[in-house]
Amino acid sequence: MMFVLPAIVVSSVLDAASAPSAARASDPWSFARAVESPLLMRGVSTTHGTDPTEPVTRLELTFDHQDRQNGVEADVCTARFDLGLAEKLVFRFDAPFALVTPEGASSDQGLGDVRAQLGWRAFDEPTFSMFIGAAVIFDTASEETLGEGKNQFVPYIAASGGLPDIRSRVFEVFEHFSSFSGDPERGGITESKLQLHLMTNWTDAMWTQIGGSFFMDWLGGEHGGITVDAEVGIATSTDLAFWVRPGVGLVGDDVPGVYDWSVLVGVRWLF
């Protein structure tokens, strides 16, 4: 009898621990429902903040080394802060700090063009969600090579669709950049960018993401460009994640945003 009570206790603990896993196995949409209301379920985001439709509060730091076209090398460290203002409304602010070295010239370093954005999760279901917003990119670069020399208005639309059978989601982001003021000696900007990515949860703490970006420069002779990238990320907790994302340019000589190759590393805190 002295071993019966401990055995019952151990059995109960094991059954309780296995119950969530069994529930997830019987309901393939459970991982999607975990991010339905991220502001009400702090720290429960099985996409680890990769879903562009999630109105989560975050602090994100990235370092991106780019080998750009025409022999230009750039190291860009960007601090991003998202603040959830309501259940589906979020304010975003990006501040890049860059070191740019043109071929055969001295390096420039300092603040780049900052971005402020307000967005709203307009549709929110486990199978599909949509986020719409608008951003302004300010001409704040401390040196000419660190920014575009123009203030820009950027409509922003993002969508996320679930593929529960493979524990994945498909992300799409469309942005259109239009300049409206700034340095009169710099050329105007009318560009579009479409991002498509497949994010897969391999475990609760590890994910991959593969995809690409498509660019169109409407003022540069309607030239298009393509970059592809692959991401591997690890979450050390429900709130903290790290990732690395190498990428290469496939098409698009002299198209803004298209690089020869790039390696980005980042860290993200979700609140």
pLDDT tops 70 at residue 93: yes
Taking only Cα atoms into account, the Rg of the chain, rounded to an integer number of angstroms, comes to 22
Q: What percent of the chain has pLDDT over 90?
A: 70
Domain ranges of the chain: 1-33, 35-270
pLDDT in tens, 216-239: 999 877 689 999 999 999 998 778
- Distance (Å, whole) CA 254 – CA 22: 53
- Distance (Å, whole) CA 246 – CA 229: 6
53, HSE (Cβ side, Cα atoms, 13 Å): 26
Mean pLDDT of 176-188: 92
- 30 pLDDT tier (thresholds 50, 70, 90): very low
pLDDT in the model for residue 28: 45
For tokens 């999607």, name the residue.
32
Q: Would you give the DSSP letter of residue 166?
A: G
pLDDT tops 80 at residue 198: yes
- CB burial of residue 48 (10 Å; 0-12, 13-18, 19+): buried
pLDDT in tens, 51-91: 999 999 999 999 999 999 888 999 999 999 999 998 899 99
pLDDT in tens, 127-136: 999 999 999 9
- Distance (Å, whole) CA 117 – CA 112: 16
Closest CA to 138 of 156, 163, 116, 155: 116
pLDDT in the model for residue 87: 85
Q: Would you give the DSSP letter of residue 4?
A: H
pLDDT tops 90 at residue 154: yes
- Distance (Å, whole) CA 215 – CA 256: 8
pLDDT in the model for residue 9: 36
CATH homologous superfamily for the domain 35-270: monomeric porin ompg (2.40.160.40)
- Contact (Cβ atoms closer than 8 angstroms) between residue 75 and residue 103: no
pLDDT tops 50 at residue 206: yes
